[in-house]
Structure 1
């Protein structure tokens, strides 16, 4: 990828403040993203609300500690959530649209350290928690199973969706170069190829 292509597809404060996203590769079959978690994001109860995806993916921890929680719809034992359709503004969508109340039950939570990897399918509901400032993960995203224009699902305790102001900021060329250096140094330290 050229620097200009990386800059076009990379974002500061991706879903929340302190969560930066560096795009290293983007094809219809495979996209490689590096997620950096800094500042107060490690103090949040979860980085984002439980959600599904438009693609299958694999996550590898490069630095720090994180956990992944998996949920299932369980109308008898689950906790009440507000289900929203999520049509990302990054693809021209309108953001969050409330659908209905749904009960979700957290069925698994596993912690991951550097070198650990997990795989998820597009339809699985999950969220992540960051347990150490400076956590960095690599996400390998595979071909879209849900087409652009068709929303995915996000589940929130609140009935009002979060304010997206100040999110999805573009990197400067210097900011992007600094994140790329950080990623390359972490790969060298871990003995993996960038």
Structure 2
């Protein structure tokens, strides 16, 4: 991937501050993203709220420690959330739209260390937590199951959607090169 394409498809402070996303490959069938978690991200109870995706994916931990929690809808035992439709601004969407209250039950939480991988279906609800500073993971994203223009779902405790100001910032070429060096060093360890 050339520098201009990497800058176009990569983001600093992706969903939260301290979560950088470097796109190193992008085709309709397979996209490879390298996620860097720095600063206070490891202190958060969740990096992002429980959500589904528009694609199936595989995640591999390169450094640090993380956990992946999978949720299922359960009206009796689940925790009450506010369900939002998510139309990503990265695809021309307008963000979050509240839909209803819903219950989700945390079915599993698995911890992963360097070399561990896990796979998720697009329809699965999950969230991730970082348990060490400077955790780096690789996400292999496969072709879209949910078409662009159709929303995915996100579940939040709050009824008001979070403020997206200061998120989805563009990298400079030097910042891209720094992240590429970090990624290559981890691949060579």
Question: How far has the Cα of 1:14 moved from its partner?
Answer: 0.2
Question: How far has the Cα of 1:43 moved from its partner?
Answer: 0.1
CA RMSD in angstroms comes to 0.3
Partner of 1:192: none
Q: Secondary structure at the match of 1:25?
A: strand
Deviations 1:58-82 (A, max 9, x none): 0000000000000000001101000
Deviations 1:12-40 (A, max 9, x none): 00000000000000000000000000000
Question: How far has the Cα of 1:139 moved from its partner?
Answer: 0.2
User: TM-score, structure 2 length as denominator?
Assistant: 1.00
Name the CA distance, whole Å, in 2 between partners of 1:2 and 1:151.
Answer: 30
Instruction: In structure 1, list runs of 5 or more residues that go unmatched.
Output: 190-194
Q: Secondary structure at the match of 2:4?
A: helix
Partner of 1:163: 163
Name the CA distance, whole Å, in 1 between partners of 2:119 and 2:70.
Answer: 12
Name the CA distance, whole Å, in 2 between partners of 1:163 and 1:42.
Answer: 20
Count of aligned pairs between the two proteins: 189
Name the CA distance, whole Å, in 1 between partners of 2:34 and 2:2.
Answer: 16
Question: How far has the Cα of 1:57 moved from its partner?
Answer: 0.1
Q: Secondary structure at the match of 1:149?
A: coil
Instruction: In structure 2, list runs of 5 or more residues that go unmatched.
Output: none
Name the CA distance, whole Å, in 1 between partners of 2:136 and 2:188.
Answer: 14
Partner of 1:124: 124
User: TM-score, structure 1 length as denominator?
Assistant: 0.97
Q: Secondary structure at the match of 1:58?
A: strand
Provide runs of 4+ in structure 1 moved above 4 Å: none
Partner of 2:75: 75
